[in-house]
Structure 1
Amino acid sequence: MNILSSGWCVLIMNKVFFTKYTEQNLKLPFVLYSLGLNHRQEYINRPSGLPFFQWIQAVKGSGVLEIDTKQYVVEEGSGMLFFPNVGHKYYGVSKEWIVHFMCFTGYGTKDLFENIGIKQSGIYKLTDIEKVEQYMEELFFIYSLDSRMEMYDFSRVLYEILLEIVKSTSLLNEKSLLNQNKKVHLVMDYINEHFKEPIMLAELAKMTGLSKEYLCQLFKKMNGFSIFDYITDVRLAHAKILLINDRTEKIKNISRWCGYEDVSYFGMVFKKKEGMTPAKFRELH
């Protein structure tokens, strides 16, 4: 979504419009500034954000959001909510990234979000995408009527859309965390059972039904360390047990039994983590 006008003149182009800006609008609790459907999203970098709220909903493809020095993957069915004047950058990572977008404000907007616990910009997953899209289509229909009272109808429908976002977030606060925990624990259990074998990120992602990028992000967010760090820790923990319990076994065999076909690479990883070679570790223990 890119702002195409310095004022709030009306503009219709590829299902994108900007509303008329008047002082009267600001007296409404929910004020729509602009709306776009099926927009081919371009690269956006706004160090200072925009002076109003934004909702950008991923319809097709995926993208990346950079905010507060962190990166997040935005998948289909998810939306980016931006508070006013918050710097952000986002761009597509798939061949085509199609989004719906809205810009809005009003004295009731911030209160609505804060009362439900939404206090900052971020990514939110919708539970009823079709209903939100129907409301957005209704906004276009209202615009096509060109009524003098359209801002009141815009405000009413915008409120319904925001309620859907709020409802989705409320449900996710209760259910999503549990589902995310289950998926992360599923990955951890798999690693513990298959540490002797090659473990591919694509395989883990397929198992959880998540993209590789989002799985990595979620795993680190919930554990504080990456999937690859965990694989290494599990393998080295077993290696240390074997080094101590079977002192006559060759290190290259222990390396292979713990998922490292290359004994030199095993030695390098071991030394980096433990501060000594496998042979030295065995000698000291």
Structure 2
Amino acid sequence: MLKAEHRRIVFTHEGGQNLPITLDSVGYNPEQEKISRPDGYPMYHWIQTAYGEGTIFFENKSLTLAEGSGVLLLPHIPHRYEALSGDWRTYYLTFGGCSAGHILESVGIQSSSFYRWESEAPLSNMLNNMLDWQDNHQDMFGLQASTDAYRFLLTLSKYGQLHNNTAISRNIDKLQPLLKWMDLNYGDSGIGLSDLSAQLGVSGRHLNSLFMQTFGLSPYAYFVRMRVRKSKELLVSQPATTVKKISQQVGFRDVSHFVATFRKQSGTTPEQFRRLH
């Protein structure tokens, strides 16, 4: 993804006060700053990661927002969030409206919720498409914005994997030692499932269950995604290093397998990604 300028559209609601969903703002932040709201936000607030990672704190929980994940916060829920890596880019959407609560309830959203989705799901680009449309059209009464927000919530309920936040926090606490170990050893191509489960002293089956409940991925699939994420950092920070060398640095034995995996997860080849950034 290109690191574009900050984009933000604020809606005035003129003539659109009685819409089922009324948009307050939609935007893209290429350098997400640290935010703290002790009294919460007065409207529903959605934030998702476009690139990098951040940490969000709410309701005595701490969750990592990586690519393919987001949080919907109910109005007036105290929260704060900040970058976990140096470069955290986000999309956000804030909204209200006379029927917003009923619509959310109808799609199964009744509390502040954490979501994950697969890279192929349309959720990743929907807010960017909303920004593009608003940039190029005159939405005087916010009708299109309201329709797009409703479509986004329906898509979220269809493609987003809703997780129980209490269980997520508990599982992440259990997995934290392994996640830190992965972060230190992602370059070792010889690591297998048995090595991962040995770090926590649990069976491979139990570890698989923990990861599926928490991330919607198997332990090894999560490890591969971490390797691809690390390769993105190296592709940008080491422009003179070959793709083959970087694939070895992040634990891939075969460069063709690395390129295929990178393309599947990112939609571009490593070389294309490097040129874009």
Aligned residue runs from structure 1 range 122-271, under 5 A: 122-127=113-118, 131-145=122-136, 147=138, 149-169=140-160, 172=162, 191-192=201-202, 207-210=219-222
1:41 match: secondary structure: coil
Letter in 2 for 1:28: L
Could you tell me how far apart the structure 1 residues matched to 2:201 and 2:129 are? 49
Residue deviations 1:101-154 (CA, integer Å, cap 9, x gap) = 111111222112222332111311134666235432342244234525450111
- Give, as a single letter, the amino acid of the residue that structure 1 aligns with 2:22: V
Report the structure, 1 or 2, having the larger helix content. 1
1:57 aligns with 2:48: yes
Deviation track 1:156-194 (CA, whole Å, cap 9, x = no partner) reads 11111111111124x557xxx9xxx9xx89866872579
- 1:74 alignment counterpart: 65
Say if 1:127 and 1:172 are closer, same or farther in 2 by CA, change over 3 A: farther
Deviations 1:51-80 (CA, angstroms, capped at 9, x unpaired): 101111111111111111221111111001
Quick one: which of 9, 26, 37 aligns to 2:28? 37
Matched, 1:97 2:88: yes
TM-score by length of 2: 0.55
2:10 to 8, 11, 18: 18
Contact 2:54 2:82 in 1 (8 A): yes
Q: How many residues are treated as equivalent by the alignment?
A: 181
User: Within 2, Cα distance between the matches of 1:39 and 1:139?
Assistant: 17
Instruction: Identify unmatched segments of 5+ residues in structure 2.
Output: 176-192, 205-216, 224-277
CA distance, structure 1, for counterparts of residue 46 and residue 79 of structure 2: 13
Single out whichever of 158-167 and 30-39 deviates more from structure 2. Answer: 30-39
CA root-mean-square deviation:
3.5
CA separation in 2, counterparts of 1:102 and 1:40? 16
TM-score, normalised on structure 1? 0.54
Look at both structures and tell me which one has the larger radius of gyration over its CA atoms: 1
Indicate conservation of the 8 Å contact 1:17/1:34, yes or no: yes
CA contact (8 A) 2:13 2:141 kept: no
Q: Quote the Cα distance in structure 2 between the aligned partners of 1:160 and 1:207.
A: 32
Q: Secondary structure at the match of 2:33?
A: coil
| Whole-angstrom distance in 2 between the partners of 1:49 and 1:87 | 4
Q: One-letter code of the match for 2:96?
A: T
Q: For residue 106 of structure 2, what is the aligned residue in structure 1?
A: 115
